[in-house]
Amino acid sequence: MGPERSILAFGDSLLAGYGLNDGESYPARLEQALRARGVNARIVNAGVSGDTTAAGLQRLDFTLKSQTEKPELVIISLGGNDMLRSLPPAETRANLEAMLKRLKQDDIRVVLLGMLAAPNLGEDYAEKFNPIYPQLAEKYGATLVPFFLQPVIDKSDLMQDDHVHPTALGVDAIVTATVDDVAAALLARPDGAGVP
């Protein structure tokens, strides 16, 4: 199956597996999906429910240093809690940018799981919040998943009763939608060229 590929899943409850059983979280199911494709992935789940981008930035250094080996790829899912608390998008952007800058310095590739502002926050907020992910992904050469929850949004059978977190079936739908992006990011050569 080839050498083990180390991935760090770094984010909030969407990675931590809020409301799910062991083994049902996005990182756990993604690891299985990658292995089914012959990618010997080992994903460390560093998701902390409730984390904002500020909290994530505060623990990024420590989390990286506490890994047994340097991850080849970091999957970032942060910003949802900033948005749910109506924190200023400029802060969300600055925190995410600091994380991407830090990972780029260490030559660690990134998959950025994008978020969209909830409609009830209004157009003004959405206009400031929604472009953060595509703009930063482009600036730092990260692989962008434009909207992480796209496969489950407005599908009651795929969302928990809080309408925020996916069910186990929802996680599987998200994994199916994103595994190609993650595999491509992991297998791309560092110079940006694709796999021959």
Domain boundaries, the chain: 5-187
Among residues of the chain, what percentage have pLDDT more than 70? Answer: 95
Give pLDDT, residue 163: 85
162 in active site: yes
CATH fold for domain 5-187: Rossmann fold (3.40.50)
The answer to whether the predicted template modeling score (pTM) of the entire model surpasses 0.75 is yes
Sign of CA dihedral 82, 50, 97, 193: negative
- 66: its two tokens: 């506490």
Q: Residue 114 pLDDT > 50, yes or no? A: yes
In this predicted structure, the answer to whether residue 179 has a pLDDT above a threshold of 80 is yes
66 among known catalytic residues: no
Cα 54 to Cα 58, 87, 97, 165, distances in angstroms: 6, 10, 11, 21
Evaluate if residue 191 carries a pLDDT over 80: no
Q: Which 3 state secondary structure label does DSSP give 6?
A: strand
User: If pLDDT is split at 50, 70 and 90, which confidence band does 1 have?
Assistant: low
> Confidence band (pLDDT; 50, 70, 90) for 189?
low
Closest CA to 74 of 115, 34, 111: 111
3-state secondary structure of 136: helix
Q: Does 147 score more than 90 pLDDT? A: yes
Tokens representing 39?
A: 């990618």
Nearest to 60 by CA among 25, 28, 103: 103
Q: Give the active site residue among 6, 12, 13, 77.
A: 13
pLDDT over 50 (residue 145): yes
Is residue 163 flagged as an active site residue? no
Where on the phi/psi map is residue 116: left (φ > 0), alpha (ψ -120 to 50), or beta? beta
pLDDT in tens, 16-51: 999 999 999 999 999 999 999 999 999 999 999 999
